[in-house]
Amino acid sequence: VTAGTARRTAALDALGDPTRRSVFERLGAGPLSVGDLARELPVSRPAVSQHLKVLKDAGLVVSRPVGTRRLYQLDPQGVAAVRAYFDRFWTDALAAFKEVAEQTKEES
């Protein structure tokens, strides 16, 4: 098992949890602190911290200090961020495709 494979497996496991997926998706919109995330999600601050640790260990999330706070964001070097991006892109594109296709006259 290569390091890359192990990391991918860790990323999949990390995103298998619905709460962690919620944390990950919110970070897709920009950096947030533990407090920000705890306010937006029905989980405690310690639970948010634990979820962030799993996401960091999986290589999906990085953190940096900003003043007295620590902000978490998707790993800009990580393919997970690319994937999250295209996930949103194709959701939108296919929804629009469906709309247009269904307004199109059928081929005779």
Site residues, another protein (CB under 8 A): 8, 11-12, 15-16, 21, 28-30, 73-74, 76-77, 79-102, 104, 106-107
CA pseudo-torsion sign 51, 57, 62, 68: positive
Nearest to 74 by CA among 11, 4, 16: 11
Two tokens, residue 15: 């995103």
- Minimum separation from the CB atom of position 47 to another protein (A): 20
Query: Which residue's CB is nearer to another protein, number 47 or number 62?
Result: 62
17 burial level (CB within 10 Å; 0-12, 13-18, 19+):
middle
- Minimum separation from the CB atom of position 64 to another protein (A): 12
Query: Which residue's CB is nearer to another protein, number 30 or number 46?
Result: 30
Query: Which residue's CB is nearer to another protein, number 48 or number 80?
Result: 80
Can you tell me which residue has the tokens 């003043």? 67
- Minimum separation from the CB atom of position 12 to another protein (A): 5
